[in-house]
Amino acid sequence: MTTSPTSASTLGTPGKIIALHLNYPSRAAQRGRTPSQPSYFLKPASSLSSSGAPVERPAGCELLVFEGEIALVIGRRTRGVPPEDGWAAVSHVTAANDFGVYDLRHADKGSNLRSKGGDGFTPVGPALLSAQDLDPAALRIRTWVNGTLAQEDTTADLLFGFGRLVADLSQLITLEPGDLILTGTPAGSSVVVPGDTVEVEVDAPGAPGAPSTGRLVSPITAGSVPFQDFGAKPLVDDLQRTEAWGSAEAAGLAPASVAAPAFDLTAELKARINSVGTATLSAQLRKRGLNAVSIDGLGSTRPDARLVGRARTLRYIPAREDLFESHGGGYNAQKRAFDSLGTDDVLVIEARGELGTGTVGDILALRAQVRGAAGIVTDGGVRDLAAVTALSIPTYHAGPHPAVLGRRHVPWDTDLTIACGGASVQPGDVIVGDADGVLVIPPHLVEEVVAAAIVQEHEETFIAAMVAAGHGVDGLYPMNADWKARFRDWAKEQA
């Protein structure tokens, strides 16, 4: 028998509010990283509020962000339980909203105290659902902004199940009745402004009676009291705007799509490109005066696989501690580049030939593969080389290195002209790779170069047959007029 929901007003003041950083795969993909273990931060009990209570965007702040979440209410004193017993320590679940101002992240150094600990920044409710009636893997979380659905996900494939969270925390911390655990937010979190209304609901559509918390309503208001000089003041940059809004496009910092020359890399054209080797294509480019179009010094994780696609570009600049602090963390240029890849894209990375650290590892390479990208090309190092090699996506690189990006690089910007392995690469260039190496072909030359390369390889098939038959190469390679006439006769026979 299903227990009727209880009003969240019975909660009282929790001793602890513990919030999880990342738990939904959709959010992890958006952030460009998937943690191997859960990590947490604390919110003060004074941040708690109820449905209908206004949430104030502090004066001088630009980036107030909502995060719809499922909150667990601890029902009994709990210490040192295993994951299989963790859910039994939960008495209720309810809806929560983990509000934060990204303008103050710079002041927190990762603690989130000021950015997420403001009065009213943790509304919960309106109803509590009895945990004993619920399957923790069959809950749904939804968030609306001004009546439009902004977030929707389920607990079916969380990175860290609820029982595991309770067990992990209880290894060192005694959880007391009434403590709250906020269990992470799915993709879709974004910025709200005064006048907006945010609503969050948690329900169990498959359970008897489809129990629901009802909608947790949070109207957004504007603060009027400015921050004073005796503390850190609001500070934002384009990185914080991108993370707060969820993407550079949503923040108004980049066009919705990457501009590229009017050129269609059709399936038929890709097949024609794949019918000829990079050596032949290189020869045809050289005939047209293009000698600096090979990306040199790289090996492939998949030398047996062909690479054909359109260039997307990512630039790293030399490491500098203050610049890495502002551009290296969060949803940085590297993560945005991998997250925006699509079918037939090849991410080409300018790493200045620096071999003393990695420029991509297994998680981001997997992200590129899942997004349907054709390949990755970097003139720097690769971390997790065995794992990257096991993927189907080909990655061309200058060598392995175990160190993280920040040792030598700052991820700086995307989709601009870069240098990689001695070659200039522009977004939209055609990238072709095989066991011989990687070429950059300007889009306006692709049709011409490929057509000529197909003819060249047809001729070379004839030349090879003649050499195999015992003929010398003088006058045959390259062909003089007599051999060209014999080739034309041979070609007719082959037709």
pLDDT reading at 351 higher than 90: yes
pLDDT digits (tens, 9 = 90+) for 471-486: 998 988 888 888 888 8
Query: What is the pTM (predicted TM-score) of this model?
Result: 0.57
The pLDDT of residue 108: 85
pLDDT digits (tens, 9 = 90+) for 368-405: 999 999 999 999 999 999 999 999 999 999 999 999 99
pLDDT reading at 134 higher than 70: yes
Mean pLDDT over 293-314 rounds to 96
Give me the chain's average pLDDT, please: 91
Higher pLDDT pick, 36 / 432: 432
pLDDT reading at 66 higher than 50: yes
In Å, how far are 100, 178, 399, 409, 419 from 14, measured between CA atoms?
Answer: 19, 5, 52, 43, 55
The pLDDT of residue 1: 45
Domains of the chain (ranges; CATH) run 6-245 (3.90.850.10), 267-446 (3.50.30.40), 448-494 (no CATH)
In Å, how far are 102, 361, 396, 429 from 292, measured between CA atoms?
Answer: 44, 28, 18, 14
pLDDT reading at 255 higher than 80: no
The annotated binding site for Mg(2+) is made up of 384
SS3 state at 310: strand
The annotated binding site is made up of 361-364, 383-384
The annotated binding site for substrate is made up of 361-364, 383
What are the E-state strand segments in 245-344? 294-295, 299-300, 307-318
pLDDT digits (tens, 9 = 90+) for 292-303: 999 999 999 999
CA dist 239 and 181 (Å) reads: 28
The pLDDT of residue 491: 83
Amino acid at 300: S
CA dist 183 and 40 (Å) reads: 9
The pairing of strands 358-360 and 381-382 is parallel
The pLDDT of residue 257: 47
Residue among 211, 162, 215, 214 nearest 184 (CA) = 162
CA dist 351 and 365 (Å) reads: 16
SS3 state at 72: strand
